[in-house]
Structure 1
Amino acid sequence: MGKAGKVLGQILTSYGISQGKLAEQLGIARSNVHRWVAEIRDPNSETVQGIITALKAINPDAADEFIGLYASGLAVGQDTFAEANSGAWINPVSGGLERLPDTEGLNVAALSRLFDKTTTSYKYVFFLSLLDILRRQNFDIDSTISLRDLLIEILVNAWYPHTYFKLSFGIQDKIAIKLDSLELDLDKPAFDELEKNLLREEISKRNLDNLLIGKDSLMRYVPFRLITPFLSQQLKAYKSQSRGTTRNDDIENEIITALAEQYFDTAKPLYKFNGNSPKLCKSIQLSSEWISYIRINYSIVRGWVSWKWLQYMQSKNPSTPAISNKLFPQIRRGALASQTKYWQKILEYTDEISCIYSNRPLRADSKLSLDHYLPWSFVAHDQIWNLVPTFSDVNSSKSKIIPSSVYFDSFVRVHYLGLKIWKEKMIKDKTLNRFIDMYISDLRLHTKDDLTDFEKLSKAYNSTFQPLLSLATSLGFEAGWNYSQN
C-alpha cells in the first residue's frame, strides 16, 4: 500500500488544512492525524476512504489531489495492481477504485493500454483533446475531426499548466517549445471556457504548418501510435511477414494507416485516417461505436485519462506543489476575505507595521491588498503565512514576480509582529485558530509559543521558503522584483 500518511501531510500543507480541522471532520483525536502525517502509523484502506470523505467536506480540490497522489503511490507500489488494472483509476467522486466499463463488441482492454510505454505527454493531451472536441460536437456519431483542430485543442490544454504554472512536460516533450514559439498572450488565472475559446481563436490565426507536418511536428507520431493497442495482432503478423525488411518511423505510420483502414470494422480501432498515406492525412474518422461508448461513459473515461496524465506530470514535477490544481483549470483564486479580516484586526492594535515593499504605513482603515509573496501561480494556494499586507498599486506592480531577497527579512518580521499581537490581544478569538494552525503545521513548528519566538519563526520561514524559491526560479518564474514608485 502507498504511504497514505505521507501523501496526507503534503495535502494538508498545500491546502492550508490543519490537522485539528481534519480530525474534527473525522470525529477522531488530533493525535491520530498527527501519527499518520508523521508516518508513525499509516491509515488502513477503510480509514483512507474516510479521509477522502472528510477532505471533500473541507476542500474538494484537496480531496481530488489526495486521491491522485495516493492512487499514484498504489500504481507504483503494487506491481500486480499496475499489471492487472491498467484500465483502473481512483474515482474522485466516490474515492473508490474503478475500471473502464466493458461492453460487448469493443476491445476495452485495448483502450486501457493506450498509455503503455509513454515517454512524453503527447498521448494524454491528444486523447483529452479528442474527448473535448467530441463533447463540443455533442458526440455526433459521424464525427470527423481534423488534425489541425486536434492540434489547436492540444495547445489549448497544454497552455494552462505550461504558461501559467511553468510545469515541465518532460525532457523529450516539445509541447512547451511549440507553445512558446507562438508567443501567445493570454495570462489569466481564472482560465474558464471563455478564455479557452479566446485562446482557440488566437491559435487558429497562426501558421501551424510546422506543427502539423515535418520532422518536428507534434502530430508526426501520436495519432498513429495511439491506436496501436487495437491493432496489436495485425501489427505482429505484419512484422512477422516482413522480417528482415528495414523499417523506419514513417513506414511504421504507413503500416498503421493501412491497417486502421483495413480492420476498421473488425478490430475496431478508435478511428481511421482520411488518407491512404500519413502525409495525406488531414483528419480522422471516429468509430461510431466508440463514440457511443464514450458518450455513455464520458465522466469515467475522462476521469481515467485525467488520472493517467496527472500521474505522468507528477513524475516530471516531483517537487512542485498542488499539481492537480495546476494541470486542470478548475480553480479560481480566492477572494481572501477572511485573510484580509485577520490582518485588519492585527492593524487595529499596532501602528508598527508598514508595507514591506513601499515602506508606507499600514492602518486598519487602509484599503489593504494581500500579496502572495511566493506567487499564487506557483503555490496555487492562499495560506496566511505566504500573504503579506500591502496596497493595491504595489501588488499590481509586483504581479506574479518573485520579490528581491532584500524584502525577505521584513516579510518574516511582519508575520512575527502579527503573531505577537495575536498572542497578546487576540488569543481568545477562536475564529483565528485555523490561521494559527496553518503557521504551526505548514512551517513545521511545534507549539504556539514558537510563533512568537523570532529566532524559531525566522528559521522555520527560511527552511520552508528557500527550497521553494529555488524551485520557482528553476521553473522559470521571474525573480528579483523591486518596488519603484514611478
Structure 2
Amino acid sequence: MHLPFSPNLSTPQLAASFGNTSATYKFYWLIAILESVENGSSSIKKRALFARMITNSWYTVNYFKVSFGKQDLIQNAVQQLLHLENLTIDIHKNKLLAILENSDNINTRLILNHFDKNVPHWFLSPWFPKTKKKNKNDGEYKKRIYVSSQNFDNNCLYALYDDVITINPDWIVYLKSNAKILKDFCYWNLALFLQSRNPNVPDIPNKLIKPAIRGTLSNQRKKYWDIVFKELGTVNCIFTDTKLTIDNFAIDHFVPHAFVSHNLIWNLIPIDKRFNSSKSDKLPSIEMHFDAFFELQKSAYEILNYHSPKSKFLEDFLTIYPAIKDINDFEYNKYKDCMQPLITIAHNNGFIYL
C-alpha cells in the first residue's frame, strides 16, 4: 500500500518515516495528527497528540491484549494509565481523551510527556538526515530538527516547538483530502508490524479499532442451540453443573471473543446466565472443562446434522475437521489440538484463567 502522490510535497519523506520501524509510536503519532487536522486544528498541543496515541491504542492493548513488544512505550503507558486514572477498559474514546488531556495527576503528565523525548523529532528525521559533520550527538541532532522545522525547511510536515507542533500550511490540504487513505496506510502497516510480533494471534487487523457494535449471538442461539435444547430438554453448564433450559441459558465463547475475534459455533457454548456475567474474558481450563465442552459440542453437532443437515453453522466445523461428513469424523484429539494452543497463547498474551 502506497501513500497518495503529490508533485509539490515531499511524500517520499513521509513514507520514509516508517522505515526501520521498531515500535508502534510512529503509526499512532501520524494517526493522531490526521485526526487533529480533520477536526480543524493546525497548531496542536503535543499533550493532545500524545493523549490521542493512547486512546487509539487503548482497546488493542487492554481488551484484545495484543502485544506491542516489551519495550514499547505506548503499551506500557496504556497499561499504567488504566490504573493511574482508575479507568475502565471500555471507556468511550472521547471521554478518555478528555481525561488524559486535562488530568492533574503528575504521573499521568510524566507518562504522556515521556513521548516528547523522541517521538516528534524522530518522525521528521527523513526530512533532516543525520550526518557526522552536523550532529555530534543526539542532543545536537534534536536541536537541529527543532530549529530547521520552524522554518519548514525541506518542506517538512510540521514545525516543532516546546509544547505544540504547527502543521506546514502546504501540507494541510493534502492531509485533509487524503486523511482516510493515510490512516488506512498507518493501520495496514501497523497490522503487519504487530502480526510479526504476534504470529499466533488471530485477526490482528480487526483488533486495532474498537468495533462500534459487537455482533449478537441470536442466530446461533435460535438456529443452533435452541434446536439442541428441544432435543435434550436440559443441558448441564460445563462450568457450574447447573441444569440449563431453553428459556434460561446464555451463549458464551469457550475461548474469549477478545482473543479469537469470531463467533464460530465450535467455540460457543450454553452456560449459566449468572456465571456468564462474572466470567468476563477469563480462560477455561483444558484439564477441567474441555471434556465436558467436547461432549456437548459432539452431541449438538449430531442433533443439528440430523434435524438441519444443511445448516450453515455446521460448516463452521470445517475449520477443525476439513473433511467432516458425519459424527464419526468428530474426533476428540483434533478438537483438543485446536483449542489447547489457542488457550495457551491467549494466556501468554495476558488473559487469565477462571
Normalising by structure 1, report the TM-score: 0.68
| C-alpha contact 1:273 1:284 (8 A) present in aligned 2 | yes
Q: Specify the alignment match of 1:283 in structure 2.
A: 164
CA RMSD of aligned residues (A): 1.9
Q: Which residue of 1 aligns with 2:272?
A: 391
CA offset digits 1:396-429 (Å, max 9, x no partner) = 12111112331211111111111122233333xx
| Structure 1 residues 285 and 458: alpha-carbon distance in aligned structure 2, compared to 1, 3 A threshold | same
Partners of 2:128 and 2:32 lie apart in 1 by 22
The Cα of 1:292 is off from its aligned counterpart by 1.1
Alignment correspondent of 2:99: 202
Could you say which residue in structure 2 is the equivalent of 1:218? Answer: 115
Q: For this pair of structures, how many residues does the alignment match?
A: 346
Give 2:61's aligned amino acid.
H
One-letter code of the match for 1:169?
F
Partner of 2:350: 476
Identify unmatched segments of 5+ residues in structure 1: 1-88, 90-98, 275-280, 482-486
The answer on whether the counterparts of 2:121 and 2:160 sit within 8 Å (CA) in structure 1 is no
Residue 467 of structure 1, CA deviation: 0.6
Aligned-residue offset at 1:457: 2.7
1:144 aligns with 2:25: no
2:146 to 236, 257, 264: 257
The residue number in structure 1 matching 2:80 is 181
Change (3 A) 1:109 1:359: same
Q: Structure 1 residues 361 and 256, CA, compared in 2 at 3 Å: closer, same or farther?
A: same
Query: Which whole-Å deviations, capped at 9, do the CAs of 1:250-286 have from their partners, x for residues lacking one?
Result: 2221121122124x1x511111122xxxxxx111111
- Is the partner of 2:117 in helix, strand or coil? coil
Q: State yes or no: 1:117 paired with 2:117.
A: no
Other structure's SS at 2:21 match: coil
Query: Counterpart of 1:389 in 2: which secondary structure?
Result: strand
Alignment match of 1:171 (pick from 70, 85, 102): 70
Deviations 1:117-148 (A, max 9, x none): 111111111111111122223xx4xx111111
Match of residue 85 from structure 1: none
Which of these residues, 447, 458, 465, is aligned with residue 324 of structure 2? 447
Equivalent-residue separation in structure 1 for 2:74 and 2:5 (angstroms): 33
Determine helix, strand or coil for the equivalent of 2:159: strand
Aligned-partner SS, 2:115: coil
Q: Distance in 1 between matches of 2:156 and 2:226?
A: 61
2:281 aligns to what SS in structure 1? coil
Describe the SS at the equivalent of 1:218.
helix
- Corresponding residue for 1:105? 8
Which residue identity does 1:269 align to in structure 2?
C
Q: Secondary structure at the match of 2:255?
A: coil
Instruction: State the SS of the aligned residue for 1:388.
Output: strand
Unaligned runs of 5+ in 2: none
- Per-residue deviation, 1:322: 0.7
Give the alignment partner of residue 126 of structure 1, picking from 18, 23, 29.
29
What's the CA shift string for 1:362-400, capped at 9, x where partnerless?
Answer: 233x23310111111111111111110123212112111
Cα distance in 2 for residues equivalent to 1:147 and 1:168: 25
Residue 325 of structure 2 corresponds to residue 436 of structure 1: no
Aligned to 2:52: 153
User: Counterpart of 1:349 in 2: which secondary structure?
Assistant: helix
* Identity value in percent: 28
Closer/same/farther in 2, CA of residues 175 and 101 from structure 1, 3 Å limit: closer
Letter in 2 for 1:420: E
CA contact (8 A) 2:191 2:205 kept: yes
How far apart, CA to CA, are the structure 2 residues paired with 1:387 and 1:321?
Answer: 17
| Whole-Å separation in 1 of the counterparts to 2:278 and 2:112 | 39
Partner residue of 2:160? 273
Q: 1:445, CA displacement in angstroms?
A: 4.0
Q: Work out the CA distance in 2 between the residues paired with 1:172 and 1:413.
A: 43
- Residues 190-236 of structure 1 show CA distances to partners (whole Å, capped at 9, x for unaligned) of x7xxx1011112323243332244xxx2221110010121233xx44
Q: Deviations over 1:88-126 (max 9, x none)?
A: x1xxxxxxxxx3232232111111211011111111111
Call closer, same or farther: CA 1:388–1:171 in 2, change over 3 Å.
same
In the alignment, the residues of structure 1 paired with residue 280 and residue 211 of structure 2 have an alpha-carbon distance, to the nearest angstrom, of 21
- Which of 192, 198, 201 lines up with 1:320 in the alignment? 201
Instruction: Give, in angstroms, the shift of residue 438 of structure 1.
Output: 0.7
| CA–CA distance in structure 2, aligned partners of residues 101 and 378 of structure 1 | 34
Asked whether the 8 Å contact 1:373–1:402 carries over to 2, the reply is yes
Q: Over residues 436-456 of structure 1, what are the superposed CA-to-partner deviations in whole Å (9 max), with x where a residue is unaligned?
A: 1111x211342222xx238x4
Aligned to 1:402, the other structure's residue is in SS state: coil
Question: Following the alignment from structure 1 to structure 2, what is the Cα–Cα distance between the partners of residues 352 and 468?
Answer: 29
CA distance in 2, matches of 1:309, 1:425: 45
Question: What is the alpha-carbon distance in structure 1 between the residues aligned to residue 156 and residue 112 of structure 2?
Answer: 22
